[in-house]
Amino acid sequence: MRLLKGVRLASGEVTDITIEAGKIARIGKSKESGLDCSGLIALPGFVDLHTHLRQPGFEASETVLSGSRSGVAGGYTALFAMANSDPVADNASVVEQVMTLGQEAGLLEVRPIGAVTKGLGGEELSALGLMASSAAKVRVFSDDGHCVHDPLVMLRALTYVKGLGGVVAQHAQEPRLTEGSQMNAGALSTELGLKGWPAVAEESIIARDALLAEQVGARLHICHLTTAGAVDVVRWAKARGIQITAEVTPHHLMLTEDLVRTYDPVFKVNPPLRTREDTLALREALIDGTIDIIGTDHAPHSSEKKDCEWDQAAFGMVGLEHAASVAQEVLIESGASDWERFTEVLSSKPAQIGSLGDQGSLKEGQEANITLVDPAASREIQAETLSLSRNNPFAGLTLKGQVVHTLFRGKFSFRDGKVKNA
């Protein structure tokens, strides 16, 4: 039995939470003594619909274990692992392997994402059904890293995945318009002599896929939205009744392209950092619900892939350990929203999109996946986190909000700043 005393819920109510046999037994004041959690906010454990755990294949950058450790430090109780490993997760064996690695790490739930196409090649559908019926019970399919650019392949994928009760998560990037692209296309890319990645390459794919999803009556999820124009397209699609959901990363909410002037590859990411106007539009959309969730797109890279010329460097940023602080900055510190919305974007909505039934809410009878945050704590983000990689563009920034404890299935996975295994 565990008792969290004096927590504040997202509703504002201060109460106690009693945990028994891995489930939330009771939410209500208790006369017993327990862990003093005064000053902390209790939220349903965070769920990341977009993480790169790099295993199998790129263990120098991250492993399922190290990614899990970084995840629990960030308050996560579930991570959806993208399929661009080596070998690609396009069949039942690889997804089951990733799932098993997650169980062995035992810190949070690792849900493998299945690739939409074989080898991420964009041409032939991968073993979608076999992955869905495997032990890994895959429901989210994505070629992230690559765009499913062929409209016919996308149409087939949407149709097929609909039948599996799943969702296709598209990385929207028209490849012909972004060959060799390095940063956002605009006046700055012109001046810096770096090949531009135009907004239209993202927006046109979203619009196309929304119409395809409408035609099929399928769900569609858009990964890492980055432009004001993309927000407009999603808004239009939702207004039409299309079952589209959208995600934004912590870095696109807070960082802009002018950081690229430093030519420091820690700021190199795909899709790229955009303009201030874009970040403002993304924030507004997250607040008003046009964007449904925050997905970290945690993309660790070992140092030799970032300690080099810009063009040579890999795309990606880590993000598991500061996502909650960014959410707090955008939703709470701004005064524009509240902890209920916070819960939606980091826990309940991603769990819903990923068909993760037993996560995303704090309710009696539910599995006890709980994150306890100290909203008043302020900290300077360090490059070094529990991830194996240090490509952290937030290093040096000071943000409010710190995850103090994380509980997974009733047990502490992270307690007082340390990863635990019991």
Partner 1 sequence: MKHLTSIRELDRASAVSILDNADELAGVNSREVKKLPALRGKTVVNLFYENSTRTRISFEIAAKRLSADVINFSLATSSVSKGESLKDTAQTLEALGADAIVIRHPMSGAAHTLATKGWISGSVVNAGDGSHEHPTQALLDALTIRQLKNSGSDLKGLSVLIVGDIQHSRVARSNCLLLTLLGAKVTLAGPETLLPQTFREMGCEISHSFEEALETKPDVVMMLRVQRERMQGSFFPSEREYAAKWSLAGERLKMLGKETAILHPGPINRGFEISSAAADDPRSAVLAQVKNGLSVRMAVLYKLMAGEG
Q: Please give the residue ranges that form the binding site for partner 1 (CB under 8 A).
A: 182, 186-187, 189-194, 262-264, 304, 307-312
Distance CA 35, CA 212 (A): 51
Helices and strands (H, E) in the chain, number of each type: 12, 19
Whichever of 97 and 227 has its CB closer to partner 1, that residue is 227
- Cβ pair 223, 50 in contact under 8 A: yes
Up-side HSE of residue 373: CA atoms within 13 Å toward CB? Answer: 31
Q: How far is the CB of 108 from partner 1 (least distance, A)?
A: 35
Count of positions (residues) in the chain: 422
CB atoms within 10 A of CB 81: 29
Q: How far is the CB of 307 from partner 1 (least distance, A)?
A: 6
Whichever of 52 and 390 has its CB closer to partner 1, that residue is 390
Q: How far is the CB of 310 from partner 1 (least distance, A)?
A: 5
Whichever of 269 and 403 has its CB closer to partner 1, that residue is 269
Distance CA 112, CA 136 (A): 7
Q: How far is the CB of 250 from partner 1 (least distance, A)?
A: 25
Q: How far is the CB of 266 from partner 1 (least distance, A)?
A: 11
Q: How far is the CB of 35 from partner 1 (least distance, A)?
A: 45
Please classify residue 368 by burial: count the beta carbons closer than 10 Å to its beta carbon, then call 0-12 exposed, 13-18 middle and 19+ buried. Answer: buried
Up-side HSE of residue 157: CA atoms within 13 Å toward CB? Answer: 33
Distance CA 375, CA 399 (A): 10
Residues involved in catalysis: 297
Instruction: Dump the DSSP string for 20-45.
Output: ETTEEEEES--SS--EE-TTPEEEEP
Whichever of 309 and 416 has its CB closer to partner 1, that residue is 309
The DSSP element (H or E) to which 73 belongs, if any, is helix 64-73
Whichever of 188 and 377 has its CB closer to partner 1, that residue is 188
**Hey, what amino acid is at 217?**
G
Whichever of 103 and 262 has its CB closer to partner 1, that residue is 262
* Closest-CA residue to 105 (of 69, 133, 138): 69
